[in-house]
Amino acid sequence: MRIFLIFISLAVFAHGATTLRIAEQAMQVKHYDKAITVIDKHLANKDANSKDYATYLKALAHYLKKERQSAIDVCDQLLTEYKQSPWKRKALFLKSRALVDGKNFKAAEAIYEAEANRLFSADRKKSLAQVLIEFGDDMSRKPDDNELDVPPADFNKAIQLYQKALGMEISREVRDGVLFKMARCWQQLRNWQMAEKQYRIYLAEFDPRWAGPVGSPERFRGQLRQNPLPAGKHWQDARFHLVEVQLNQAGQQVQVVAGKRHQALVVQPNPARFLGKLQVARQNAEDLIKLLDDSRQAMRADSEWLLVRSYNLPHPSPNEFDRAVQQARSFLKDYPKHPRATDTSRLLALSYRQAGRTDDAIAAYDDFASQANFTFVPEGKQSDPDIRTGVSCKETFDAWVRDAVFAIGQLRYQQKKYDEAIAQWRKYIARFPNGAQWSSCQAGIINAQFQVGLDAVTEKNYGRARKHFEQFLKDHPLDSRARQILFTLGQIDYILAIELEEKSPAPDGEAVAAINKHYSKAVEQWERLVSKYPNTEESSLALYRIGQIQEEKIGELEQALATYQRLTWGSYAGQARQRYQALTNHELRIRTERSFRTNEDAFIEITSRNAPKLTFKQYQLNLESYFRKTHGIGGIDDLDIDLIEPDKTWELEVDGYQKYKPITQRVKIPFDKNKPGVCVIKVSEEDYEATTMVIRSDIEIITKTSRRELLVFAQNLLTGQPASGVSVIASNGKEVFGTGKTGDDGVFRKNFFDTLKDASGVGVFASSENGIASCNLGLQNLKFSEGLSERGYVYTEKPTYRPGEAVHIRAILRDVVDGSYAVPKHQEYDVRVLDPKGRMLQSTTHKLSKFGALDAAITIDPQASLGAYAVQISAKNLRDAPTFNGSFQVQRYKLEKVKLAFEFPEKVIFRGEMIKATLKASYYWGAPAAGQAIDYTLPDGRTYSERTDDNGLIQIEFDPSGFMPGRHLNFKALAKDYNVSTGNHVYLARLGFKTTVRPLQKVALAGEPVDIEVKTIDADGKPTGKELTLYVLRREVAKTDRILSAVPWIPQPGRVAGEVTVKEVKVTTDAKTGIGICQLKLAKGGLYILRASGEDRFGQIVTSTSQLTISDDEDAVKLRFFAKNTTGKVGAKLPIRLHSRLKPALALLTIEGEEIISHRILKLKPGYNSIAFTPDNKHFPNFRLSVAAIDGRSLRTSSKDFTI
């Protein structure tokens, strides 16, 4: 009862009537009669309000007073007189309560039933659902930009309301809208997975042509619903937004929202992990485009835009780059006025730039800046900025145009086309005086002008560099690089002086004057730097270099000391103090620059400081004994030779001695005339001494070793001939393991397997009457090659036999002798035949023929087991001999009565094309098997049963649109009555053809013709003829400059410049072979990119790339092998050429397999040297051709692998 009273109290206050408040108070204290009296007075008043409520209170008072019938009568009065009263329902339920209390259940039940029917009626539910949907629509509505006082959308609450509406009995039309709105809310919440799921739910229910998600069995089958309901209102939009959601899952921000184009598009820089989702989105977009009719042109255009984005521009997958670019260009061609055409044109330029295709990027940026391939269409008013960003679409577009104009200058700068870069940036400055990159353009122009000077230095055009730098200093006196320029100007003269010194080891007076002139100019420039920019890092290094020149180059030692004392700032002050200390201390250094020939005097080089007189001691050395003892010729400084009487002692006044001056002089070492020898020279001055070894010899050696043998080639460099009779001593660092003499060809070669197999290194000492030579090789990383093993091929004349037939067995066997295959001699072989259960049926012994073959035979028992039989052959009475295996089948042959076969007019089809197949059934004698029941299975797993027609045929059609391209689609068939099956497949291709490009030789010489092979293969793997364009591009690799590398503040180029197109060549491949050959001549050395490109019949771009290296005189590799083919046959001549950039010299040519197979001594001449070579059994299956030659003090080598 308390509930009623609380409710009444609240109601009274709501009505505010004094009399009714009195009646309500009386009821609260249970004075029901008083309450009824007050209420009757209220009802009798014609002007009183809330009479319906007063009537309800009166009925309630009677009910609480236990006057049930009176309560019922008053309730009936209210229901009759006040049919629209909000108290009508309460009066009705109060009446039913009174009826129940009076045991009149039937009448009460009638009231409850009527109300229940009303509450649960369809109209009532529809009304409630509509209320929920309207609330959900309000919750999901985004306020306009100008509605600042409106709360933001609450998509989560909207989804809850939509879900409640879906739980009610609503019409299909209403459900259509609610499901779609709920999916949109999930999308707005950026919950891509739920949004994708919701769109799929919608499409499964309201899109009759929806065949399921990409990759699902339903999609594979492509089977649409039978007798579907009509399509919903939003199926096209749902498909469109599904693509959006899938692209967002791949890291793409691609929603086409009006007024938001200026927001930067976010993509994945590495799309590899999202490639599958991108391809799924692409296929869904393609399907939608096919389904859209002419009434949805705007959506078709937007869908084409999403298709462009599915390639992840500007970071497409490398193998999809050309297709991505083509799709973007197609979009621009078809929809130049689309709001996203602006983005697409810009993305093209960004894509080319990211891919390093500089020329294409420049052209694309130029198209964008000039609006050559699109028309800018602003979204909304051009001048009205977005309220959140403060930027309008027109302002964003103008900024992008400025970016494009600026980027062209950057790309030209990267290509080192500085004049064009400067012109482009000046164009920007004139066109966009208030542009964001205005200052960057100014800086870029200055950078380019600075870089022109640096490039002039790199090109060794020093006059142009000086002129340009001086003009730069005049035009930009406050530029921070002015200090670097002054330093570089000094560095130019410094390096020129050093180069003159290098060209003239013993300069005459004129050369000395030229050298000192350059040093003086360098000092002048650096003093200018120190004076103008004191206390800077540049002036610190400049002053230090001045001191170096004074000390080491022009002999002004007192000035050098003063210069070092002046340097008190910067990071070079410490080095200056060290140089000052070195100048005032004693110094003695000695070195032997090389070994000397017997027709020249031997010298040592001595550098001393503050030492007016030097003492020399000469000790003759038996180097062979020293080598045998120490297993090397190093460590001379550790010899305690003071206890030994020197063979000769003399003193020498230091020529040109001057205090503080470091003096370097060459001192002649006495040897017998035209005689070789080895000695140790010890030089001393007061408490300082130094030791070196001097070798006079005409002999030099080249050493090669494996884990099996050692080869030493000795040559007399004085005569240029091989040195015969040279004694060779070999040590493993612990003991001498081999000695011998070289032959007439100057080669010593011997097997030392027991020692070399575990050795960590090899030291070789060679000596003769013409001198000595030594070499050390480390073997830590040298491993055994696998080598050849015994081989055997066992076979029968056919693979399958019937019981009772004779089986003829043949085997071809080879042994390994001296690293090559040979016919085994004087050896018998056991031949065993085993049945499928492993039981031996026969064992016989046979001898090999002179060709290394044997024959055996066995007759299969008519009752023999069916299955696989094994043949085993092994050497007789030979332990651990390998077993060679063969096999054959024994089966009972039964000719099948019916034969099945799939026939396809096209074995390769493309997405969008129907597969047409003919299943053919025929009897073994060729007649068609008409009326036969055949089960066939389609690639999507569906199986059908049909009977063949009068011609024994079943016609099949299959739509492969549910499959991703690049896979085989398998068809299977089974004739159950005959237990005969068959299968075949069709290839679903992505591209109409494939192309490859390769140079017939990976390295070619500059100026020489090189053949480039371009090959085209149809999608079914057959050759096809196509017209292609071969693009030849060069990559400029920055080289280290001797001058600029010494300037620490100038960054050294450590990257590859953008690709520069050298030429374009049209190539047409042959229709029969699919091969086209074009010939190139490239004059400049370096790395070249070869890119072949063409279009298939669908307009898709097909490309392939390869690389070609061109060698010119600047090539650091001096020896190169050239061969048309690295694969040959035994007995067939291999044409090989060795190109040399050395002076005429002897070279050791080795042919290496598991060990050194053979060697030759070549007399190399500059240019090509032909090598006549015919491989034999020793070179099977592969070998390496190696060459080594001595070039002064350097060893030049080259090698190439061949397969035989």
Least confident of 9-23, 30-44, 116-130, 1113-1127: 9-23
Query: In degrees to the nearest 10, what's the CA dihedral of 27, 29, 30, 31?
Result: -80
- Which CATH number characterizes residue 256's domain? 1.25.40.10
Smallest CA-to-CA distance from 866 within 798, 794, 796, 800 is with 800
User: Do 1055 and 1022 form a contact (C-beta atoms < 8 A)?
Assistant: no
- Is 1184 part of a structural domain of the chain? yes
Note the pLDDT tens digit of each residue in 1154-1183: 778 888 888 999 988 988 888 888 888 888
**Per-residue pLDDT at 1028:** 93
Q: 415, 442, 473 — which closes off a domain?
A: 415
Residue 780 lies in a domain: no
Range with the lowest mean pLDDT among 618-632, 676-690, 812-826, 865-879? 812-826
Q: What is the pLDDT of residue 402?
A: 92
* pLDDT at residue number 288: 92
**What CA dihedral angle connects 497, 480, 412 and 491, to 10 degrees?**
0
Same domain, 202 and 275: no
DSSP 550: I
Q: What is the pLDDT of residue 1204?
A: 86
**Is the residue at 1044 inside a domain?**
yes
Percent residues over pLDDT 90 in the chain: 39
Q: Are 675 and 655 in a shared domain? A: yes
Confidence class of residue 120 from pLDDT cuts 50, 70 and 90?
low
Work out the average pLDDT over 1184-1195.
85
Domain boundary among 92, 120, 148: 120
Q: Which of 126-130, 229-233, 380-384, 426-430 has the lowest mean pLDDT?
A: 380-384
- In terms of C-beta density within 10 A (0-12 exposed, 13-18 middle, 19 or more buried), how is residue 210 classed? buried
Cα–Cα distances in Å, from 716 out to 104, 701, 725, 730, 1085?
137, 9, 12, 20, 35
The answer to whether residue 858 scores a pLDDT higher than 90 is yes
Q: Residue 405's pLDDT is what?
A: 93
Helical residues (DSSP H) of 812-876, grouped into ranges: none
Any idea what DSSP says for residue 95? H
Domain span at 1176: 1116-1204
SS (H, E, C) 304-366: HHHHHHCCCCCCCCHHHHHHHHHHHHHHHHHCCCCCCHHHHHHHHHHHHHHCCCHHHHHHHHH
Q: What average pLDDT does the chain have?
A: 86
CATH code where residue 1132 lies: 2.60.40.1930
Q: CA-to-CA distance for 348 and 325, rounded, in angstroms? A: 7
The pLDDT, as a whole number, for residue 195 is 93
pLDDT band at 1053 (very low <50, low <70, confident <90, very high): low
Q: Is residue 1096 domain-shared with residue 1133, that is, in the same domain?
A: no
Q: Judge whether 496 lies within some domain.
A: no
Cα separation values, 670 from 130, 254, 678, 690, 730, Å: 117, 86, 11, 18, 30
Q: Minimum mean pLDDT among 341-350, 933-942, 1053-1062, 1079-1088: which range?
A: 1053-1062
Contact 1181, 821 (CB under 8 A): no
- 878 and 847 assigned to the same domain: yes
Rg (CA), the chain: 49
Whether 494 is covered by a domain: the verdict is: no
At 256, the pLDDT band (50, 70, 90 cuts) reads very low
User: Do the beta carbons of residue 1136 and residue 1168 sit within 8 Å?
Assistant: no
Percentage above 70 pLDDT, the chain: 92
- Do you find a cis peptide bond into 208, omega within 30 degrees of 0? no
The whole-number pLDDT of residue 294 equals 85
Q: What is the pLDDT of residue 262?
A: 40
Domain shared by 959 and 999, yes or no: no
Residue 261 shares a structural domain with residue 378: yes
Residue type, 130: Q
Residue 855 CA to residue 795 CA, distance in Å, equals: 10
Query: For position 955, what pLDDT does the model report?
Result: 94
27 lies in a domain?
yes
**Residue 1048: pLDDT above 70?**
yes
831 C-beta neighbours (distance < 10 Å), count: 24
Contacts of 195 (CB under 8 A, 6+ apart): 183, 184, 186, 187, 189, 241, 245
Nearest in space to 187 (alpha carbons), one of 200, 171, 168, 206: 200
In terms of average pLDDT, the best of 271-285, 527-541, 989-1003 is: 527-541
Q: How far is CA 1118 from CA 1054, 1138, 1189, in A?
A: 24, 10, 10
87 and 228 share a domain?
no
- Domain check: are 1017 and 1056 in the same one? yes
Provide the domain count of the chain: 8
Same domain assignment for residues 72 and 54 = yes
Report the CATH number that the domain containing residue 142 is assigned in CATH.
Answer: 1.25.40
Q: CA dihedral in degrees (491, 497, 501, 503; nearest 10)?
A: 90
Q: Which residues lie closer than 8 Å to 19 by C-beta, 6 or more apart?
A: 38, 39, 41, 42, 48
Q: How far is CA 74 from CA 29, 69, 87, in A?
A: 22, 9, 13
- Whether 671 and 591 map to the same domain: the answer is yes
Q: Do 1044 and 959 have their domain in common?
A: no
Residue 784 within a domain: no
Tokens representing 184 are: 């949109």
- Residue with more model confidence, 145 or 353: 353
Say whether both 961 and 947 belong to one domain. yes
Q: How would residue 134 be classed by pLDDT, with cut points 50, 70 and 90?
A: confident
What span, in angstroms and rounded, lies between the C-alpha atoms of 407 and 415?
Answer: 12
Question: Residue 384: what pLDDT?
Answer: 52
DSSP string, 702-752: EEEE-SSEEEEEEEETTTTEE--S-EEEEE-SSSEEEEEE--TTSEEEEE-
What does the alpha-carbon distance between residue 265 and residue 257 come to, in Å, rounded to a whole number? 12
Given pLDDT bands bounded at 50, 70 and 90, which one contains residue 574? very high
Report the C-alpha gap between 380 and 641 in whole angstroms: 97
Sheet holding 1156-1164, edge to edge: 1156-1164, 1145-1152, 1182-1191, 1194-1203
Does residue 512 register a pLDDT over 50? yes
Task: Determine if the pTM surpasses 0.85.
Answer: no
Residue 1 scores a pLDDT above 70: no
Q: Give me the helices (H) in 141-232, please.
A: 155-166, 172-188, 192-206, 217-221
pLDDT number for residue 617? 92
- Angle of helix 88-101 relative to helix 105-119, nearest 10 degrees, comes to 150
User: Residue 59: is its pLDDT beyond 90?
Assistant: yes
Q: Any residues with CB less than 8 A from the CB of 970 and at least 6 apart, and which?
A: 939, 983, 984, 985
Summarize pLDDT for 394-422 with one digit per residue, the tens: 888 888 999 999 999 999 998 888 889 99
Last residue of a domain, one of 951, 968, 986: 986
pLDDT at 119 over 80: no
Q: What are phi and psi of 923, to 5 degrees?
A: -75, 160
Q: Tell me the per-residue pLDDT of 522-561, one tens digit each, with 9 for 90 and over.
A: 999 999 999 999 999 999 999 999 999 988 888 888 898 9
Handedness of CA 468, 469, 473, 478 (dihedral sign): positive
pLDDT band at 784 (very low <50, low <70, confident <90, very high): low
Residue 235 lies in a domain: yes
Query: Cβ distance 19 to 34 under 8 Å?
Result: no
CA-wise closest residue to 23 among 194, 1184, 31, 15: 31
Per residue in 718-748, pLDDT tens? 888 999 999 999 998 889 999 999 999 999 9
pLDDT at 381: 46
Q: Of 609-623, 1010-1024, 1040-1054, give the lowest mean pLDDT range.
A: 1040-1054
Q: Give the number of C-alpha atoms closer than 13 A to the C-alpha of residue 240, restricted to the C-beta side.
A: 20
For residues 458-472, average pLDDT? 88
